[in-house]
Amino acid sequence: MITLPFLGRLSLSEWPVVVISLLFAYIESVISIITELIPAPVLGFITSLLKYLHTNAFRLVFPKDETEPTDAELNQRQLVKASNIHDICKVYGFEVEDHIVETKDKYLLTIHRIPPKKKDSPVVYLHHGLLMCSDIWFLMNRRDQNLPFILHDLGYDVWLGNNRGNKYSAKHLVLKPSETKFWDFSIDEFAFYDIPDSINYALKTSGAETLTYIGFSQGSAQAFASLSINAELNNKINLFLALAPAITPVGLHHRFVDALIKSSPNIMYLIFGKKTLLPTASFWASIIYPPLFVKVIDVSIKMLFNWKSKNIDQSQRISSFKHLYSPTSVKCIVHWFQIIRNGSFQLFDENVSVTNSLTKVFQPATFPTKTNIKVPVKLIYGDIDSLVNIDKYSSLLPAELTEAVAIPAHEHLDIIWGRDVDKLIFPHVLKFLAEHRPDSKSST
């Protein structure tokens, strides 16, 4: 009889989680197939009808206020309706450019640029986190709480990156997203290709010699990994600002789920397959009543990470959570679970069943961050963020180049969407930028 070794290691307490997860994945797959079979005009009509019902339901629950809505309230309504980064930025009177980056392994990434006020402006590049895209940087209900706009006002040339496979980068010169091979990537590919190729493009297009890198969560991890394996990249980044940096999270809050992924990271393949994670999530985000969708996200992140989002107002969660999800590969999630399991910021382990045997035949290679990173690093994190293991950073980063700032009583998402980002986060960001602002002379 054929058995699956990693299933044999599950305890009785873990099996209910497996069964529920498999059932959820099955239902999600069926829904995905059904939505693909529905003709586009019919699906569009259903979506429009549901959005209309949402609007009217909202008016019934919250009777119309006779007072004039605030700018933040007006912005929130438009942000919820926005379907892409161009719609989002138009809310604040900005336009962004689309630029296509061809990676060395032939993925086509769409990265965005806010055209600078003048030529030879210093360049800032921002990169999103896991299951996100460049939208995340523009979702605050107030203009002065969106970091890219502040940087643009200060005279920076602002660029925003996107990972392969996400909302804006689902293209390859040979492969199609319907093929499993398209989704065969992890943090390794982000580090070897997406980050350096995007940075090289931004520098070449702007004519600058160096840029400042700002990463959120996995966007920081990708840069740490890329800098550690690419000596040349260290000469192209003058400052690295890591917001809520995730390198070696200790685990998940839900003890059954945590035990499950630590015992067998590859179980994600069994549950979700080997392509993209939750392909219909964006569809559901567009049709579920916004306050209800926020409740679903609140419950999910509370269960997984023990985040309570007390620093993010309900109206802000409606704006931000609507655009929270963007596709990535299941393999990327498996990579994170390997890192969590081993407590090591390592490259993807292609043969986890062998390397985790008692004999330890192979040892997964770790990213040499402490010895190879030569760039000033500034960490800004919430002191109650369950994903940031700050005590571990001393062994992972060069002490002489690293400075950390803890934001009291803040969690992970609070660092970009908290109600006081302009008072608690931006001053640190702008201080570090001012200290390291490079000569803006063109290299051309």
| 74 Cβ contact partners less than 8 Å away, ≥ 6 residues apart | none
DSSP-assigned beta bridge partners for residue 405 = 380
| 82 Cβ contact partners less than 8 Å away, ≥ 6 residues apart | 88, 90, 91, 323
Reduce the DSSP state of residue 442 to 3 states and report it. coil
Cα maximum dimension of the chain: 72
| 208 Cβ contact partners less than 8 Å away, ≥ 6 residues apart | 120, 122, 123, 157, 202, 438, 440, 442, 443
Q: How many CB atoms lie within 10 A of CB 294?
A: 23
- What are the structure tokens assigned to 197, written together? 């190729």
> In degrees rounded to 5, what are phi and psi of residue 187?
-60, -30
Q: Measure the CA–CA gap between 246 and 224, rounded to whole angstroms.
A: 10
Task: Please report the DSSP string for 202-225 in residue order.
Answer: HHHHHT-S-EEEEEETHHHHHHHH
Question: What kind and span of H or E run contains 287?
Answer: helix 281-287
- What are the structure tokens assigned to 349, written together? 């382990």
Planar angle of CA 231, 234, 237, nearest 5 degrees? 155
SS3 content of the chain, % helix, strand, coil (to 5): 50, 10, 40
Q: Measure the CA–CA gap between 301 and 318, rounded to whole angstroms.
A: 15
Q: Is 378 left (phi over 0), alpha (psi -120 to 50) or beta?
A: beta
Spatial CA neighbour of 313 closest among 204, 158, 164, 418 = 418
3-state SS of 351-391 is: CHHHHCCCCCCCCCCECCHHHHCCCCEEEEEECCCCCCCHH
- Give the catalytic positions in this structure: 217, 385, 412
Q: For residue 199, what are the CA distances in angstroms to 139, 290, 347, 369?
A: 24, 36, 21, 19
